[in-house]
């Protein structure tokens, strides 16, 4: 009789952030166009959202489109925009039913007005859900977020002596959301890629060579198992050393 693997217990991270990398390489390795990989990655996201709710994750942040991604070929950029619109059209009702609250982090400026409207409608529809908060980082960049926060702080006339870490956090796109406990990057790349630079200061990182479309519930479990063994010191000493 096969022993059923236990679901991660009390050390499940409250906030998980994911750099969903490797869609294009996944497609190319199968002789498919890159956009086919992005669609496969989108389909996988639905499964990972379900797994996160089952495991008890409260916040999930996904890196969907960076401020640097505008430099990709026009065909790919347009395709990614269509994919986002399709996801909203096809998945919104089910996500709302399952208690997922959708939020956008980044700048909506630059997106097609129709797409902006759909994003805002999705946020409004799901604003009272609390089973899982899903932050979608679209047209997002960590440096741009910090610049935006500084601009708003100056505009609000905040005095220099009043500026501290807590205040800056309140001006971030993620205001009101705890910093990520665990940041996962698929496809094996060892880069931060301008993602949650401020919020990820003390996050644990988990990097896997698995491409995003193949990163399933069991791979997520592995990440959580690894996280559960980490000694999070936040710049201090571990409990063992102190003793």
Active site residue 21: yes
Dihedral sign computed on CA atoms, order 219, 221, 226, 227: positive
- Length of the chain (residues): 243
Active site residue 139: no
**What Rg, from alpha-carbon coordinates, does the chain have?**
19
Q: To 10 degrees, the CA torsion angle through 68, 21, 230, 15?
A: 70
Which are the contacts of 75, defined by CB distance < 8 A and separation ≥ 6? 35
Catalytic residue among 44, 69, 139, 231: 69
Catalytic positions, written as ranges: 21, 69
């Amino acid at each position: 009789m096969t022993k059923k693997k236990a679901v991660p217990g009390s050390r499940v991270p409250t906030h998980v952030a994911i750099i969903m990398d490797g869609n294009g390489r996944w497609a190319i390795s199968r002789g498919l166009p890159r956009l086919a990989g992005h669609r496969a990655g989108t389909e996988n996201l639905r499964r990972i959202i379900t797994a996160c709710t089952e495991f008890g994750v409260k916040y999930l942040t996904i890196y969907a489109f960076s401020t640097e991604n505008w430099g990709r070929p026009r065909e790919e950029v347009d395709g990614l925009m269509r994919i986002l619109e399709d996801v909203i059209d096809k998945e919104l009702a089910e996500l709302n039913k399952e208690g997922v609250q959708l939020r956008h982090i980044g700048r909506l400026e630059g997106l097609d007005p129709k797409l902006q409207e759909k994003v805002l409608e999705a946020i409004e529809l799901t604003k009272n859900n609390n089973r899982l908060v899903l932050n979608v980082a679209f047209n997002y960049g960590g440096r741009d977020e910090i610049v935006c926060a500084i601009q708003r702080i100056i505009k609000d006339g905040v005095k220099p002596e009043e500026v501290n870490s807590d205040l800056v956090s309140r001006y971030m796109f993620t205001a009101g959301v705890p910093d990520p406990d665990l940041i996962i990057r698929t496809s094996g790349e060892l880069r931060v890629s301008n993602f949650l630079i401020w919020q990820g200061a003390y996050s644990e990182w988990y990097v896997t060579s698995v491409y995003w479309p193949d990163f399933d519930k069991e791979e997520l479990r592995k990440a959580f198992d690894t996280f559960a063994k980490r000694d999070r010191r936040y710049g201090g000493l571990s409990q063992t050393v102190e003793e």
